[in-house]
């Protein structure tokens, strides 16, 4: 599995500091798995092929490839060759614009420490 995440998801604090710290640690753990790669699309890229919305390309050895996208009230899956080809092409562009897997891991680790580091409280214990 190969994933490209928009950098904004590293900075938008869902669930508080402790949850974000755990989520970013989980992403770093995923990076250590041979069959899974995570890339981050940096802020500086500006407009990109997924600006209109996220999408997933699912590839199968024995079945037709499909794409999945969703909006606020429903999801949409299709095996239309034209749509699959377009989404695959857009995904190739996202991967090319994203940081390398190694640089992505370094950015995730840096954001985790800079934004969501454990903080000491007056009694000397640590808070996430």
Domain ranges of the chain: 1-42+99-128, 46-97
Q: What is the pLDDT along the chain (128 residues), one digit of tens a residue?
A: 899 999 999 999 989 899 999 999 999 998 888 889 999 999 998 888 787 788 999 999 999 999 999 888 999 999 999 999 999 999 999 999 999 999 999 999 999 999 998 765 566 666 55
pTM of the model: 0.83
d(CA 5, CA 38): 7
Residue 28, judged by CB atoms within 10 A of its CB (0-12, 13-18, 19+), counts as middle
CA 79 to CA 84: how far, in whole Å?
7
């Amino acid at each position: 599995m190969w994933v490209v995440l928009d950098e904004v998801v590293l900075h938008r604090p869902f669930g508080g500091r402790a949850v974000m710290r755990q989520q970013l640690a989980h992403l770093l753990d995923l990076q250590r798995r041979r069959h899974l790669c995570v890339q981050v699309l940096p802020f500086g890229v500006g407009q990109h092929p997924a600006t209109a919305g996220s999408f997933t390309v699912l590839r199968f050895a024995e079945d037709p490839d499909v794409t999945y996208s969703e909006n606020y009230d429903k999801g949409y899956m299709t095996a239309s060759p034209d749509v699959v080809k377009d989404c695959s092409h857009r995904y190739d562009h996202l991967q090319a614009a994203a940081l390398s897997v190694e640089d992505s891991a370094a950015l995730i680790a840096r954001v985790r420490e800079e934004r969501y580091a454990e903080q000491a409280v007056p009694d000397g214990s640590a808070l996430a």
